[in-house]
Chain A
Amino acid sequence: MKRYFDTGNRAITEGAILAGCKVFAGYPITPATEIAENMSRRLPEVGGYYVQAEDEMTGMHIAVGASLGGLKTMTATSGPGYILYADPYGWALGCEIPIVVVNAQRVGPVSGITGAPGQGEFYIARYPTHGGNAETIVLAPNSVQEAFSLTVEAFYLSERFRMPVTVLADQLVTDGWETLELPETREEIEKMGLRFKEREICRGPVFYPFTDQLDVPPVVMGHNTGGTCSDWTPTDEGYDTEEVEWAHKHSYRLINKVRNNKEVIRRYEEHFMDDDPDVVLVAYGSPSRVMISCVKKAREEGLKVGCIRPISLWPFLDDLYHRKTNYLVVELNYDGQLVREVQRCVPTGSNVHFFGKCGELPSVAEMLLQIKQILNGEPLVRSDNWEWEAW
C-alpha cells in the first residue's frame, strides 16, 4: 500500500484508472479541473484516450459515444456542467450505456462560487434528464479515500446495471487534501473490498431485454454485433418503435433493474444508533464529517444523539429512517433537499428539522446548539434570526 497526501480529484483519477477506465471526455471546471488534468496525464500511460470537448454537453456525448464503442469511460464536472449533461445523461440512461459521472458540487444557484462547497444537486442527480421512467444510481463520498473507493465501485455498478452512475462529491472532497492509500497488489485490492467488472459485449439479437436482471452485457456499436442505439423507444432488438407496449417494457427494465436489485448498491454508515437516540443527525458528503465529530462530542456531554450517513444516495434508503424520534438533517444548502426525503420516510409522530449552511462547513458548535434547541423544544434559529423550521 502506498501512502500519499493528495486531493479527492487525484483519488477519483486513480480509482478510475484502477477500474479500467480508458476514456475521459469532458470540460474542465473548478472544483473538478484536476480530474481532467490528471486523466490527461494518466490515460496515455494505460493506453487510454483523453478528449477535451468545447463544452460539457459535447464532453459527455463524446464519453457516452466512447462507451458505446466498447470502452469504460468517465466524465467529471461541477453543478454548472452537470446540468448541461442532461441530454447525454438521458441517452446513457435510455440506451443503457455504462459511464461514470463525477459531480463536484459547489455553491449555487447558477455559477455560484467556484471554490466553495455546496450540495444543490441532490435531486438533479436523481432526475438528471427529462422524461422520467428511469431510476438512477448516486454514490456520495465524504473523504479522499472514499472518493477513490467509490469511483471504483461506480464503475462496477455502471457495468452490472448497464447505466450511468453519478459520484456526487463536493468541493471539500475533491479539492480537499487527505491521506490517500493506493493498493499496489492484488491482496491489497481485495483487502480494500473493491469490486470490479470487465466490459462485456452484447451480441444480440435481443439488445434491450424485458427483464430486471443485472449483468446483461452492454450494447456496443460495431464489433459486428448488430447493436443499435437511438433516443427513441426501442423494441427488444433495438429498432425504433411508436408502440406503447414497448415503452412500457423499456421503462419496466430501466426502473426495476435498479429497484429490484437495490441491495447491490446499498451503502451507509451509522454511529451511536443502538440505544434509540433522542436526536438522529443525517448528512452525506463532507458535512457528515463534522456531524460525526458533533455526535461524539454530544455523547461526551451525556446527550443521547446518533447519526446516519447515507453513502448510496439513490436509490434512497427509506428504511434507515424507521425510528420515531427527532431528526436533524444537515446539508450544504439553504433550501433543504435531503431533508424532504427523510421527512417522507420517517414514521408518523417523528419531528424532522433542517440545518443548512452553504459555501462552508457548519461547525460542531453550531450543530450542537441546534441539537440542544431540539432537545429543549425550542425553534431552530440562526444568529441572523432566519428560522430553519421554514424549510
Chain B
Amino acid sequence: MGKRIEVLISGFGGQGVVRLGQILAQVSVDENLYTTMLVSHGTETRGGYVRTQVVISDAPVDSPVCEDPDFLVAMSKAAYNKFKPLVSQGVIIYEPYYVEQDHGLHCRQISVNAREMAINELGREIYANVVVLGYLTRLLDGTLSKDQVLKVMLQKIPKFHEENKKAFELGYSLAVS
C-alpha cells in the first residue's frame, strides 16, 4: 500500500457512523494493516453528533488524527460544514438529503443518495450507512477486498443480514466516476 489512508466519517448518533468505522477498521486489521479508530460523540444515544476517524497504514500509526482525510463521509449538514475545510486532495462523500453542496470547494465531491436508496429499496433509512460502506469499499478497491468487508460486516451486524447485503450491493454497484 505504501501510504497512510485517512477516513473520517461523521453524522448523527444512530446513523451507524461508528459501526461503519468499525467494519472498515476490522477488515484492515484482518489484512494485517496497522489501524487506529478514534470515536467522539455527544451525550445522547441518538441524534447527537458523532465522528469516527479511521487511519489505515502499512506502518505503525503514530498520530491517529484525520488531518487531511482521503475520504470524508458526511452524513449530516453539521458534519459536512465542520470537516470540509480539512479535505485538500481527498474525496468528500455526502448525503444529499442532509447536506447542501458547497460549490466553492476544490476537492472532489460525490453525492451518494444513501438514505433515499435505503428507504426506496429496503424500506428503512437504517441501511443507509451500509449503502455508503458498499460505495467506500468500491473506492478502496485494492486496499480492502470486497469479500472481506462483507464477511466482517455480517459479523458486526447481528441482524437483517439479507437486507444489509442488498444495501451493500446498492452502494458497491454505484458508478465510480
**Chain A residues within CB distance 8 Å of chain B:** 3, 5, 30, 113-117, 171-172, 175-179, 286, 289-290, 292-294, 296, 359-361, 363-365
Contacts and interface: CB of A to CB of B under 8 A. Distances in A.
A5 B63 contact: no
A3 B25 CA distance: 13
Given A3-B29, A177-B22, A289-B63, 5 more contacts: A5-B22, A5-B26, A171-B40, A172-B38, A177-B38
Interface string B10-29: 00000000000110011001
A290 B65 contact: yes
Majority secondary structure, A binding face: mixed
Contact of B62 (A115, A179, A292, A360): A292
A364 B67 contact: yes
24 contacts: A5-B22, A5-B25, A5-B26, A5-B35, A114-B42, A115-B39, A115-B41, A171-B40, A172-B64, A175-B38, A176-B36, A176-B64, A177-B21, A177-B22, A177-B39, A178-B35, A178-B36, A178-B37, A179-B29, A290-B62, A290-B65, A293-B62, A294-B63, A361-B65
Nearest to B4: A293
A150 B133 CA distance: 35
3 tightest A-B contacts by CB? A293-B63, A115-B41, A177-B37
A363 B39 contact: no
A360 B41 CA distance: 11
Contacts of A360: 40
Contacts, number: 71
Nearest to B37: A177
Nearest to A111: B43
A172 B35 CA distance: 14
B155 to A, nearest CB: 11
A176 B29 contact: no
A364 B63 contact: yes
A363 B86 CA distance: 11
B34 interface: yes
B29 A5 contact: yes
A292 B43 CA distance: 31
Contacts of A116: 40
Nearest to B152: A5
Nearest to A290: B63
B51 to A, nearest CB: 9
B29 A364 contact: no
Contacts of A5: 22, 25-26, 29, 35
Nearest to B30: A5
A290 to B, nearest CB: 4
Interface string B53-64: 000000001111
A175 B65 contact: no
Nearest to A296: B62
Contacts of A359: 40
A302 to B, nearest CB: 19
A31 to B, nearest CB: 9
B22 A179 contact: no
Contact of A289 (B29, B41, B62): B62
A179 B36 CA distance: 7
A254 B36 CA distance: 40
A113 B21 CA distance: 22
Nearest to A30: B43
A115 B26 contact: no
Interface centre among B40, B43, B61, B63 (most CB of A within 10 A): B63
A373 B40 CA distance: 30
Contacts of A175: 38-39
Contact of B67 (A115, A171, A365): A365
B39 A364 contact: no
A365 B22 CA distance: 27
B40 A115 contact: yes
Contact of B42 (A115, A290, A361, A363): A115
